Amino acid sequence: MTNPVPNAGVHPAAAAGRFTFAGSAISVNRMGYGAMQLAGPHVFGEPADPDEAHAVLREAVALGVDHIDTSDFYGPHVTNRLIREALYPYPDGLVLVTKIGAWRDDKGDWILERSADFLRRSVQDNLDRLGLSQLPLVNLRMGGPEDDVLEPMRTMCEMRDEGLIGHIGISTVSAEQLARAREIAPIACVQNHYNLVQRADDAMIDALEADGIAYVPYFPLGGFTPLQDATLNEVAAGLGQSPQAVALAWLLQRSPNILLIPGTARRSHLRDNISAAALQLPPEALARLDALAG
């Protein structure tokens, strides 16, 4: 559910309004921050500039970000440690959303795993490194449309009932997997790959909006392959904005249940990203960007 936000001028991240996660009392500004890029290259190892990483986190909160997306497998163990170092004790209202279902080997390879024991260890790792007694919202990361979602969802429900996690989200899922997951438990949010040029989830976003469920696109700016599009560049130039800010503003105007978690390791990029919360694209710009779907 989208809610108006006071003090949007004081806190720029609030300019796009707020959203309350389905089935919860958790309300956040629609413009958030993704901590993944705070780790080293390819989300592995330590940051090149730890002081800048801490500064980015503190400035994000100062600008009104109250939704930070992280995971203990970023680094691994790096972004959660940086978040705690920079922000603990956490300000009231800050929501730390984590993801489980994978780990990194000593070469930095991503290993997907969803056994009950592993999911439990992952939740405990996140709790310990973030210094929390409960994770407000945890996304279960699936690997592909062929993966079984029922057994890991049952484990998620057990941890929710034990008070280790507050609410359940799910990531990298098909519409069919999402439907099966919702048969097991309420889903507070979906985190899938979606951006201006990657729009396979259009129907899912619309269906989730109707049910008041958040959709949180990962790689909103293209991720490891940044968005490169001539139309986007032309529209941005005509508006006197960066292509990144325009791409984020398009997502915010795409649907009121979309929450953004753009990541960066630099304060200058952070400010530009957050400026998109107040950017209203005119109809002609929207029409040109919408047409990119074809």
Q: Supply the DSSP symbol for 277.
A: G
Check which CATH number belongs to the domain holding 164 and give it: 3.20.20.100
Instruction: Report pTM.
Output: 0.95
Confidence (pLDDT) at 68: 98
CA–CA dist 14, 95 (Å, integer)? 14
Residue 171, H or E segment: strand 165-171
Burial of 266 (0-12, 13-18, 19+ CB in 10 A): middle
SS3 257: coil
What is the separation, in whole angstroms, between the first and last Cα of the chain?
30
In the predicted model, what is the mean pLDDT of the chain?
95
pLDDT digit string (tens) for 166-212?
999 999 999 999 999 999 999 999 999 999 999 999 999 999 999 99
Confidence (pLDDT) at 290: 95
Instruction: Kindly list the strands in the beta sheet with 27-29, ordered across the sheet, starting from the edge strand earlier in the chain.
Output: 2-3, 18-20, 27-29
Query: Is the pLDDT reported for residue 7 higher than 70?
Result: no
User: Which positions are annotated as active-site residues?
Assistant: 74
Q: How confident is the model at residue 149 (pLDDT cuts 50, 70, 90)?
A: very high
Total domains present in the chain: 1
Q: How confident is the model at residue 226 (pLDDT cuts 50, 70, 90)?
A: confident
Are the C-beta atoms of 105 and 133 separated by less than 8 Å? no
Residue 68 φ/ψ, nearest 5 degrees: -115, 125
Q: How confident is the model at residue 38 (pLDDT cuts 50, 70, 90)?
A: very high
Angle between helices 243-254 and 283-290 (to 10 degrees): 90
Are the C-beta atoms of 63 and 12 separated by less than 8 Å? yes
Q: Which domain holds residue 189?
A: 2-293
pLDDT digit string (tens) for 57-115?
999 999 999 999 999 999 999 999 999 999 999 999 999 999 999 999 999 999 999 99
